[in-house]
Chains A and B, each alone.
Chain A
């Protein structure tokens, strides 16, 4: 007999209708299809951004070289490549893959409802996102080429065509970013409303899996921080096209205003992409150490605390922009404070591992790698957060290496951890573990070989925005140049190992072992339905109810070492 009332079906009456190809895969309102669309678009954009990284790293290691597949990298190409590499990785890879793809896929499934509460708004969200990606890609091909003012787009360089020489590229870049924000606003509203209003019967606040909480907190942070950047982007567009002077100091404007508005968004943005990965790491670690997640509530409170604190650290990006040194001290303090909650989460994960029966599956390796690699990113951040050290290190490769030690674990490791863990649910097949491990080591080892050398280059004073170091004799010594060649070689190795992943993905999709409903013996609700889940996730009469928190592994009173949320006793 069915348990009381199931979740109210949200918006479809068409659960069991046959659908055409177009309505099923292209104009679908199904949250799972939209998640796949976001993920596919994110991966394609990631390949583009990876190719850009290849082109400009080749130029740095072998200046003036005819880069295979790209050609000669001119100075204008170089600035456009680094700008768009950064923009794409942050806005068109990290956000769509971590927040939109995993958010769309997991929130309804892990909350036990049939879809998002506003499926059509969800579809619109993806369509606007796709449009933003197209606008950005189009900006590479307009006269003057793509925007080259760095992904932070500081005026006056970004505001005036006489300075940046990309009259169309820079406007299209701002437009693409603005459209992308609209897409995520629509998506985030859906995420929060769904998780608040449509959870399975019995699922209390503290029964929500950590990954869902983190996606929600990330969405809330995004909602609260994006407004000022949209304001700034509109002002920049007006400055570029309508003759206003918001950022023009000659006419009473203030270029530093952009930096404040940008970083007011930019720093919470780090946590917008970090929190989903923190969340899925928690789920993966708990499942593969067969142990209850240590201090579930502490993680939540910590994440909320981090979220609030993240609104008070932005000016640590501006220590040398002429802000008052007393102000810089305040931001140094808040910046150092914010490392405490993140460190606490790392300790909580280690405490979860302690005494567990750990299984080194591919997703578990990614989750453990996230802890180790992100730690390096966090620790090097302390040097940059302290205003005294930052004055020396600002705009050097030290910043760049630190940044990549945070964003690579967040984006790339987070993506691979999530996809290897939920692949069986998404496609109903198991991935090949051997290939998965080859890909893991082939990515993690070269990654460290790319970026550890860059810390040394940064400490040696190598500035970030130099196109050809041969022009600077002090920086063109054989010692420094060899380090650049080393880092570029490691990048080539890492990029080539990604082929293993795509090969594994495609062969597993075609010939992988059938996964069954719950291959990892996990507790959360998505593992109680078919793999892949049907349209509507569960048959309407079988929507799950929830009886307990999500991490009851190895409970002493149970014969099996897991206790799904939907099992009454």
Chain B
């Protein structure tokens, strides 16, 4: 309420934009989701007498290591894009980046990041096709069930995060990418990137 004769009061400082903070909180919930899945898998694996279960293929650990690298690189390029974006933001100090030129520097690393991410998802898809041919299905064994559950859950997140990134990229090319949207999409992608090595370690190795 506008109080007469009041002492001026400062607005509270924000540490993160709304979008970034919201997505960070969401990511904590997601981390716990994957923690639940991975611990369930760990217990199932520890209880099994033979692993992988008889008649089931080994998971393609080597190929996926290469794919892991692609995903990590994607995260790295997104970080580069973020640095450029912040630099252009400092130059304009507007809530929305309106100047095309400085923000344009963020576009190339952003695009590379998206392409690497898409490569990761497609590569995973080809691996799934191969595994299905070798007889690993969701109902074939504990290994199959947990593999498709955990990796599929990650893939679903990767696809959703990629869609968000593509949308943010489009906003950037039109010069109206808000800090909130950019924050939300980058935090979500970092989550997808950073949870993956843990899944790779627990599921594939």
Pair A227/B139 contact, Cβ less than 8 Å: no
Asked if A264 and B36 make an inter-chain contact with CB atoms under 8 angstroms apart, the answer reads yes
Question: Chain A CB within 10 Å — which of B8, B10, B138 has the most?
Answer: B8
- Chain B min CB distance to A531 (Å): 15
Q: Are B12 and A201 in contact (CB under 8 A)?
A: yes
Given contacts A4-B10, A4-B11, A246-B40, contact A238 B22 (CB under 8 A): no
Task: Tell me whether B48 and A226 are in contact (CB under 8 A).
Answer: no
Residues of A within 8 A of B139 (CB): 242-245
Are A197 and B36 in contact, CB atoms less than 8 angstroms apart? Answer: no
Q: Which residues does chain A contribute within 8 Å of B22, judged by CB atoms?
A: 117-118, 189-190, 192-193
- Judging by beta carbons under 8 Å apart, are A224 and B33 in contact? no
A246 touches B25 (CB 8 A): no
> Chain B residue with minimal CB distance to A226?
B29
A547 touches B7 (CB 8 A): yes
Q: Which residues of A contact B48 (CB under 8 A)?
A: 252
A7–B6 Cα distance when bound, in Å, is: 16
Write the B16-27 contact mask toward A (1 if CB under 8 angstroms, else 0): 101001100110
Cα of A81 to Cα of B72 in the assembled complex, Å: 51
A59 CB within 8 Å of chain B: no
B28 touches A223 (CB 8 A): yes
Complex: how many Å from CA A22 to CA B149? 41
**Pairwise interchain contact A541-B2, C-beta atoms closer than 8 A:** yes
CB-based contact A227/B43 at 8 Å: no
Known contacts A228-B35, A231-B40, A245-B145; A201/B25 CB under 8 A: no
Q: Are B29 and A223 in contact (CB under 8 A)?
A: yes
A117 to B8, CA, bound (A): 24
User: Is B127 positioned at the interface, with any CB of A under 8 Å from its CB?
Assistant: no
The answer to whether residues A4 and B44 also contact, given A238-B138, A238-B149 and a CB cut-off of 8 A, is no
Contact among B1, B12, B32, B37 with A544 in the assembled complex (CB-CB below 8 Å): B1
In the complex, residue of chain A having the shortest beta-carbon distance to the beta carbon of B38: A231
Q: In the complex, which residue of chain A has the Cβ closest to the Cβ of B26?
A: A189
Instruction: Bits for A527-543, please: 1 = Cβ < 8 Å to B, else 0.
Output: 01000000000100111
Q: Select one of A1, A231, A538 contacting B37, CB under 8 A.
A: A231
Does A438 sit at the interface, judged by CB under 8 A?
no
Decide: A193 and B36 in contact? CB cutoff 8 A: no
CB of A36 within 8 Å of the partner chain: no
User: Is B138 touching A227 in the complex (CB atoms < 8 A)?
Assistant: no
List A contacts of B12 (CB < 8 A): 199, 201-204
Complex contacts, B93 vs chain A, CB 8 Å:
none
Contacting residues of chain A (193-248) with chain B, CB-CB under 8 angstroms: 193, 196-197, 199, 201-204, 220, 223-232, 234-235, 238, 242-246
Q: Are B33 and A189 in contact (CB under 8 A)?
A: no
A261 contacts B40, C-beta separation under 8 Å:
yes
CA distance A1 to B4 in the complex (A): 5
Say whether B18 contacts A224, CB under 8 Å.
Answer: no
Bound-state Cα–Cα, A188 to B1, Å? 27
Q: In the complex, what residues of A have CB within 8 A of residue B44's CB?
A: 246, 252-254, 257
Closest residue on chain B to residue A194 by CB atoms: B18
Whole-angstrom distance between the Cβ of A164 and the nearest chain B Cβ: 20
A566 within 8 A of B: yes
| B residues in contact with A230, CB < 8 Å | 33, 36
- Determine chain B's interface SS by DSSP, over half rule: helix
Task: Take A3-B8, A566-B3 as given contacts and tell me if A244 and B145 are in contact as well, using a CB distance cutoff of 8 Å.
Answer: yes
The answer to whether A252 touches B32 (Cβ under 8 A) is no
Q: A2-B2, A193-B22 are in contact. Are A231 and B29 (CB under 8 A)?
A: no
CA distance A273 to B145 in the complex (A): 34
What residues of chain A lie closer than 8 Å to B32, measured between beta carbons? 223-228
Chain A residues near B96 (CB, 8 Å)?
Answer: none
Q: What are the residues of chain A within 8 A of B1 when measuring CB–CB?
A: 528, 538, 542-545, 566
Quick check: B3 and A227 within 8 Å, CB to CB?
Answer: no
Taken together as a complex, chains A and B put the C-alpha atoms of A89 and B120 apart, in Å, by 44
Closest to A227 in B: B32
Q: Is B68 an interface residue (CB 8 A)?
A: no
- Chain B residue with the shortest CB-CB distance to A543: B1
Instruction: Point out the residue from B2, B9, B26 that lies within 8 Å of A185, measured CB to CB.
Output: B26
Judge if B141 is at the interface, Cβ distance under 8 Å: yes
The answer to whether B2 and A1 touch across the interface, beta carbons within 8 angstroms, is yes
B142 interfacial contact with A, CB 8 Å: yes
B5: CB under 8 A from chain A? Answer: yes
The answer to whether A546 has its CB under 8 Å from any CB of chain B is yes
A5 in contact with B35 (CB, 8 Å): no
The interface residues of chain B lying within 8 Å CB-to-CB of A225 are 32
Contact with A along B32-68 (1 / 0, CB 8 A): 1111110110011001100001000000000000000
User: Inside 8 A of B43's CB, which chain A residues have their CB?
Assistant: 254, 257
- Could you write out 23 A-B pairs with CB less than 8 Å apart? A2-B2, A4-B10, A188-B25, A192-B25, A193-B25, A202-B10, A203-B12, A223-B25, A223-B26, A226-B32, A227-B31, A227-B32, A231-B33, A231-B34, A243-B139, A244-B145, A245-B142, A246-B44, A252-B53, A253-B142, A257-B40, A547-B7, A568-B5
Query: Given A238-B149, A243-B138, 8 other A-B contacts at CB below 8 A?
Result: A3-B9, A197-B16, A199-B12, A203-B12, A223-B26, A226-B29, A244-B139, A251-B141
Residues on A lying within 8 angstroms of B by beta carbon are 1-5, 7, 117-118, 185, 188-190, 192-193, 196-197, 199, 201-204, 220, 223-232, 234-235, 238, 242-246, 251-254, 257, 261, 264, 528, 538, 541-547, 566-568
